[in-house]
Amino acid sequence: MVEVNEKIAIEHGLKSDEYKKICDLLKRTPNITELGVFSAMWNEHCSYKSSRKHLKKLHTKGEQVIQGPGENAGVVDIDDDDAIVFKIESHNHPSFIEPYQGAATGVGGIMRDVFTMGARPIANLNSIHFGSPNHEKTRNLLRGVVKGIGGYGNCIGVPTIAGQTCFDESYNGNILVNAMTLGLVNKNKIFYSKAAGINKPVIYVGSKTGRDGIHGASMASAIFDDKIEEKKPTVQVGDPFTEKLLLEACLELMAGKSIISIQDMGAAGLTSSSIEMASKGDLGIEIDLTKVPCREENMTPYEIMLSESQERMLIVLEEGKENEAKKIFDKWNLDFAVIGKTTDSKNIELFFKNEKVAKIPIDFLAENAPMYDRKWIKAKLPKENKFSKDRFKSLKLGDCLKKILIDPNIADKEWIWNQYDHTVMGDTIQKPGGNAGVVRVHGTNKAVAASIDSSATYCHAHPLTGGKQVVCESWRNMISVGAKPIAITNCLNFGNPEKEKNMGEFVECVEGIAEASKYLNYPVVSGNVSFYNETKDKGIKPTPSIGGVGLLSDYKKMMTMELKNEGNYLFVVGKTEGHLDQSIFARNILSEFNGPPPEINLFNEKQNGMTILNLKNKNLIETCHDVSLGGILTAISKMSIKSGKGIKLFPFESLVNKFEYFFGEDQGRYIIEIKPENLENVKNMLKKDSIHFDKLGLVESDEITYGNDLKIPIEQIKLDYKKWLKEYMVN
Amino acid sequence: MKSSVIIFPGSNCDRDMDVALKKFGFKNQMVWHNDSNIPKSDLIVLPGGFSYGDYLRCGSIAGKSKIIKSVIDFANSGGLVLGICNGFQILTETGLLPGILQQNKYLNFICKNVFVKIKNKENKYFKKIKKEVLELHIAHNEGNYFCSNDELKSIEDNGQIAVTYCDHKGNEDEKNNPNGALKNIAGIFNKDKNILGMMPHPERMIDPFLSGEDGSLFFSNLIESL
């Protein structure tokens, strides 16, 4: 057996003082298995040691919240006996090393988190960020990640209904793969991870344990260097077929009454799942590692405890229910083994070949895990740019629009989502490419909307504003499909928390998220933190991804962004002030990368959103689309492209110039389509609520026109919008 | 009318098919792959999905599963057997239908709406459908139909081509062939036309809020023809 010392502890990712703390707590030197268990539980990924202090600031409560953060996933009430279980999780580090398996197991892991709670997954989403399209690795990483996400989700038979794909050179050395799953559960039949009762059998089910993914969670808590290729063995390998069997078997077992608690073996495998169940139940746990089904020969206790082999679950059963449960897993051809029991010792005790190989008080691993109050710097709001008239003199609206539509961050992503099965389960009523994905709640009149958003550019420019903005954007996506926003899940992707600037970005983004979600009553119910997204000292832009969930009580009232009929009017709801700093226009056309992001006014945000929902409930609007990246002209172009219908823009009344008006990225805005007969009613309602609006134009012909300044056929912008990604992936 | 949907481990369109069959009046039951008998049925459906993980080759393990002997007996006695997507792959693996389904030409999974032209209405599957072109949905990685020249001649001579990929007007050109299938073939019959295998999923197109409604035409014809 290996002799444990400080050097070995450091190789496990622990700091010197952390190792010293372990020895002090145990009052002895840990053996190698124990050290492995500590390193797995105390790494950033599992212990949230740098983030915990700040995550407490998040707004997590609300009328519809059944379960907030701290469980496998969050749960919200969607009326009747239905509840939605959902969560987002990152799989960034593995996906950069091995894009197919990294992304695939990311999807597999988040689905397990959801069905562990008794829910059948009904929708998947993802947010993926890549380096510059010109970077040598980007194309293959994108191809691999998309194939991995599709390969796993398609096989399980859960539709992938929405997502986002971004490119920025800050991700050259650290791509982001965030996967989100929504599941449907009867709110009286939710399963939790808290164990209860002593001498209850602890059951291992699913795939066999192999040597894959050992120390995956520690790898995810480290920064990358040149030797990153050597880390390939730490990437887990996914088997969606086994997961599909595991899903069906677990749901079958859950229909009965034999489960006390259940936990999937995700990051840090058997270690974290067993410790979490015992810790939440204030119990001890005893495991005989000889009984764990292994795929490879001669696996050591250390390897068994730290393996991150996929598609495995740990269950605490009621006594005497073992045979009944085993029958179900036999039917689905899955391993089933009683590997231990709960105890009242409050220790985790591991046995191997009749020898005790580890004994650690659970407290030491959970509550006594380090918590850091890391130093951070507050970001200053950058100074606004004053763009002189000269800078716009030679510009033409049509040319600018074309340039924006072929920007990788705007261009159509159909090449990606056509590779995801988005219609299986027969309830997808809004496909990817809209404001949000929408699936019906099977067999009811209800539907659930979901979207995923991030705005790293804004967060980078000013983290506090950026954090607020992402939440608002998510909220707007819900409103735009006619759904009442219910709750969010956040995936917080940041650089190295040991650097004050990165830590500051984290703290302020979290504060921004907290403030907006509280004001909008759009609580955070689950989430995940991914730090150390850094390679050779270059960190990513701060990238919190927000997954939003909303409810439509009548799915027939869902809105889409396709223009409906010629002769209808278009309004912009919300005030346009022509904010160009940090916009796509500023970056692509003016080559200006500094300045503050658009300001967030939460009062207006809420008012505007609620009014849109009111208008929809009164059947006064036909179409809705929120205005985001690229401003008004980009938004209406997408509406035109989707429907093949043109728009005649009216002269606008504003002090700003036409570029500022049409490409500015002011927040809290929506474009709505109104039938002529409803025009007065809509105006009156907007005025009554003191909502600012502009009459934007008329649905007409097959061109977008603005006086003599713009005349562009829809067919042409459609080609521009659709071409970039396809051409990029073919070359 | 009674129907049976076979569930293989890894099937994932079994529920969708059950919903569709029931919506159009079938009394449907689900049959587990490890059973040896199929209850009395007027129609057996092999649903889409990834049976046995589609490891080895799509549909190959399902083609050797315990239940499949009963399916073959039922088909050989003239019973109606419908295979959708993975079900089509399984039918070619059992030899009930000629040819094979290879990986898509552009090597990617494809999920989208397509148009298919009905090539033969002298059978129970398409008899009373008035339209010539249907809008259906595909979602597969291995839908690239291929067979030998002799087999092709034989299926053409016997009117065994059921549906082909085309545009909304029925033009069957290469541009509208999503996966590289020989002669744009999207579905075929056996000689007696009681077995149909096709890649498109009619069960995903059964109400106006989904991708479309032409799947309804398929199922309502089926129950009327039986």
> Burial, A293: exposed, middle or buried (Cβ in 10 Å; 0-12, 13-18, 19+)?
middle
Amino acid at A564: K
d(CA B211, CA B187): 20
> A729 to each of A136, A143, A588, B193, how far by Cα in Å?
13, 8, 22, 42
Nearest beta carbon to residue A423 from set B10, B49, B137: B137
Residues from chain B contacting residue A332 (CB–CB below 8 Å) = 9
Which candidate in B5, B8, B12 is best for mutational testing of the A interface (most A CBs within 10 A)?
Answer: B12
| Interchain CB distance below 8 Å, B209 and A555 | yes
Q: Minimal Cα–Cα distance from A421 to chain B, Å?
A: 5
User: Searching chain A, which residue's CA lies closest to the CA of residue B109?
Assistant: A419
| Interchain CB distance below 8 Å, B109 and A154 | yes
Q: B2-225, which class in CATH?
A: alpha beta
d(CA A110, CA A484): 24
Give me chain B's average pLDDT, please: 96
**Cβ-contact A156, A120 below 8 angstroms:** no
Q: Minimal Cα–Cα distance from B46 to chain A, Å?
A: 16
Residues from chain B contacting residue A417 (CB–CB below 8 Å) = 111
Please give the DSSP secondary-structure letter assigned to residue A209: B
| Interchain CB distance below 8 Å, A157 and B141 | no
Nearest beta carbon to residue A423 from set B54, B139, B141: B139
Residues from chain A contacting residue B9 (CB–CB below 8 Å) = 241, 244-245, 332-333
| Interchain CB distance below 8 Å, B10 and A154 | no
pLDDT digits (tens, 9 = 90+) for B65-121: 999 999 999 999 999 999 999 999 999 999 999 999 999 998 899 999 999 999 999
Please give the DSSP secondary-structure letter assigned to residue A556: G
Nearest beta carbon to residue A245 from set B9, B15, B112: B9
Nearest beta carbon to residue B12 from set A244, A418, A428: A244
Q: What is the pTM of this model?
A: 0.95
Residues in chain B: 226
ipTM: 0.96
Mean pLDDT, chain A cut into blocks of 10 residues (731 residues total) = 88 93 96 94 91 96 96 96 97 94 95 97 98 96 97 97 97 97 97 94 95 70 63 76 96 95 91 94 97 94 93 95 96 96 97 96 92 96 94 96 97 97 97 97 97 98 98 98 98 96 98 98 97 90 98 97 97 97 97 97 98 97 97 98 97 93 98 98 96 97 96 96 94 68
d(CA B195, CA B155): 13
Residues from chain A contacting residue B111 (CB–CB below 8 Å) = 154, 417-423
d(CA A680, CA A108): 51
How far is CA A137 from its chain centroid? Answer: 23
* B85 belongs to the catalytic site: yes
**Cβ-contact A239, A311 below 8 angstroms:** yes
d(CA B133, CA B149): 26
Please give the DSSP secondary-structure letter assigned to residue A714: H
Instruction: For residue A730, give every residue at least 6 positions away whose Cβ sits within 8 Å of its Cβ, in sequence order, or none.
Output: none
> Burial, A561: exposed, middle or buried (Cβ in 10 Å; 0-12, 13-18, 19+)?
buried
Residue B48 structure tokens = 């889409």
Residues in chain A: 731
Q: Minimal Cα–Cα distance from B207 to chain A, Å?
A: 10
| Interchain CB distance below 8 Å, A157 and B49 | yes
**CA-wise closest residue to A90 among A23, A178, A16, A149:** A178
Which candidate in B5, B30, B84, B111 is best for mutational testing of the A interface (most A CBs within 10 A)?
Answer: B111
**Cβ-contact A344, A76 below 8 angstroms:** no
**Cβ-contact A437, A430 below 8 angstroms:** yes
Q: Determine phi and psi for B216, rounding to 5 degrees.
A: -60, -40
Please give the DSSP secondary-structure letter assigned to residue A258: -
**Domain range summary for chain B, segments of one domain joined by +:** 2-225
Residue A203 structure tokens = 């059951």
Residues from chain B contacting residue A150 (CB–CB below 8 Å) = 109
- Give the strand pairing for B27-32 and B2-7: parallel
pLDDT digits (tens, 9 = 90+) for B208-223: 998 789 999 999 999 9
∠ at Cα A303 (A299, A307), nearest 5°? 115
Q: Exposed e or buried b for every residue in B150-168, given b needs 16+ CB within 10 A? A: ebbeebeeeebbbbbbbee
**Cβ-contact A246, A311 below 8 angstroms:** yes
**CA-wise closest residue to B206 among B2, B24, B25:** B24
Alpha helices in A454-590 (DSSP H): 456-461, 463-480, 500-519, 584-588
Q: What pLDDT shows up at residue A211?
A: 87
Nearest beta carbon to residue A423 from set B20, B54, B204: B204
Would you give the end-to-end CA distance of chain B in angstroms?
8
Q: What pLDDT shows up at residue B42?
A: 97
| Interchain CB distance below 8 Å, B111 and A240 | no
**Cβ-contact A585, A631 below 8 angstroms:** yes
**CA-wise closest residue to A215 among A298, A307, A110:** A307
Which candidate in A140, A145, A154 is best for mutational testing of the B interface (most B CBs within 10 A)?
Answer: A154
Residues from chain B contacting residue A431 (CB–CB below 8 Å) = 211
Which residues of A are the active-site residues?
Answer: 45, 91
Q: Summarize the confidence of residues B145-165 as an average pLDDT.
A: 97
Q: What pLDDT shows up at residue A537?
A: 81
> Burial, A354: exposed, middle or buried (Cβ in 10 Å; 0-12, 13-18, 19+)?
exposed
pLDDT digits (tens, 9 = 90+) for B110-129: 999 999 999 999 999 999 99
Residues from chain A contacting residue B137 (CB–CB below 8 Å) = 423
Active-site residue, selected from the candidate residues B13, B58, B85, B147: B85
Q: At A431, is the secondary structure helix, strand, or coil?
A: coil
Alpha helices in A520-655 (DSSP H): 584-588, 602-617, 631-643
